[in-house]
Structure 1
Amino acid sequence: MPGHVFLEGAKVALRPIERTDPDLEVLGRVRNNPSLRRKLGFEAPWSKSRIEEFVDSVIPDDSSINLFLCPVEDRELPRGDQRDPSSVTQQSGQSNTEDVGTIAGAINLFDINGTSGTVSYWLFEEHRGHGLATESMSLLLDYAFDERRLHRVEAEVFEGNESSRTLLSRLGFVHEGTSRDARFTEGAFRDAHQYGLLAPEWTNRERA
């Protein structure tokens, strides 16, 4: 796995996004592939140079934590094939998950201002339903509240993304409001649901 593991659980390791060809390929796939970008609200095309600029801007920025989500090596999950940019090596461009580790998705904590931050995540479809998102969110929330000493973490979910709404509720997030027709994605205006979680609520919760 390139880069160093930043947070690790039983099922998943979270490591920083790097300015490497495999990482840039994954980001390019997510921001340009119609089946992925539309669900995430990316409407305009992202060139490789724009992706490089994005990575260059977030790497030194401590107010934005951007991590790839990689299943641990002893899991029994799909690894993809040689055409899958989530499982290619920097050297050869061929599938070699022992060298690079599979990228199952990403999780981000951004707009960190000393008291609050915003969390988001995505997973490739073949890695959903295995508990990776739940563990990744738990690891990042522990980091946000215990290490960064944030008081509040926020999240936004588009209308129709019931799996994310269920995950946030299970982790203790409270639905705080709805912005009607606030986002245009997948060809329609959609409501945006705002969620919030306070440090005492996370500390005193029953473990998800």
Structure 2
Amino acid sequence: MYEHTLTDGTVWLTRPTGADIDRITECCQDPEVGRWTTIPVPYSRSDAEQFLDLVVAPGWAGNAPVWAIRTAENGQVEGMIGLHTRGPGVCEIGFWLTADHRGHGLMSRAIALVCDFAFAPDGLALARITWRAMVGNHPSAATVRRNGFQYEGTARLGGIQRGARVDEWHAARLSTDPPGPADTWPVDIAPG
């Protein structure tokens, strides 16, 4: 797959490169990123190098792109968002964002761009994008809810976080689902 930069003029999504290694390493020191993702903790420069080599490069080669989130065309990394293949026509979305940019709608914009590209016939032409997060990650749930992901339930001990089984929330958006807020979410998980 050839590289696709996605932008709405406020957020730019570009393929992360070797020039971003130090910034990725810095961002992944944030305890909240480590708390809600499966990144190694502690996170080192070699972890960022492996991320580029073992996740980003094969992802772009296999129609499962990973983008750096930037607030300017040539700006520094402020987060990551990516798709991971989960079968024919299905990918799972995953993301994280630096503390300075949380709560300002940047991730919602990034998710909208990724979904538009992923569902487009001239993009990835996906039928379904799934999402999962550890129970308790309310900001992530609220963000995907705002982007049309329908709540599908809780998988008891459905995930693994650093060797321990954890409960997970699951949601998905189909190519036929509207992009606006979904109304299928329990209020205690992602209030409307």
The aligned residue for residue 57 of structure 2 is 59
Q: TM-score, normalised by structure 2?
A: 0.77
Q: Which amino acid aligns with 1:144?
A: A
Runs of 4+ in 1 over 2 A off after TM superposition: 26-36, 41-51, 60-64, 181-186, 205-208
Contact 1:134–1:167 (Cα < 8 Å) also in 2:
yes
Aligned length: 175
Distance 1:184 1:15, change over 3 A: same
Q: RMSD in angstroms over aligned alpha carbons?
A: 2.8
Distance 1:139 1:13 in 2: 9
* Structure 2 CA distance for partners of 1:33 and 1:163, relative to 1, 3 Å: closer
- Distance in 2 between residues matched to 1:206 and 1:193, nearest whole Å: 20
Higher Cα radius of gyration: 1
- Counterpart selection for 1:180 from 156, 160, 177: 156
- Determine whether 1:115 maps to 2:113: no
> 1:152-197: CA deviations, max 9, x gaps?
00011111111111121221111112112344659x8642011111
What is the SS of the residue equivalent to 2:18?
Answer: coil
Name the structure 1 match of 2:70.
70
Task: Work out whether 1:134 is the aligned partner of 2:147.
Answer: no
Alpha-carbon offset, residue 47 of structure 1: 4.2
**Partner of residue 150 from structure 1, selected from 126, 145, 162:** 126
Cα deviation digits, residues 29-88 of structure 1 (max 9, x gap): 344554431232335544433432331233243232111111137xxxxxxxxxxxxxxx
2:177 matches 1:201: yes
What is the DSSP-based 3-state SS (H/G/I as helix, E as strand, rest coil) of the residue aligned with 1:53?
A: helix
Q: Give the CA deviation at 1:131.
A: 1.2
Shift of 1:5: 6.9
| Letter paired with 1:69 | I
CA distance in structure 2 between the aligned counterparts of 1:136 and 1:190, rounded to whole angstroms = 27
- 1:14 equivalent in alignment to 2:47: no
Q: Which deviates further from its counterpart, 158-167 or 135-144? A: 158-167
CA contact (8 A) 1:43 1:185 kept: no
Matches of 1:102 and 1:175, distance apart in 2: 33
What amino acid does structure 1 have at the position aligned with 2:176? Answer: P
Query: Percent same amino acid at aligned positions?
Result: 27
Point out where structure 1 has 5 or more consecutive residues left out of the alignment: 74-99
Deviations 1:114-140 (A, max 9, x none): 411010111111111221111100000
Q: 1:102 to 1:175 in 2, by over 3 A?
A: same
- The CA distance in 2 between the partners of 1:121 and 1:12, in whole Å, is 14
State the AA in 1 paired with 2:36: K
The aligned residue for residue 81 of structure 1 is: none
TM-score (norm 1): 0.72
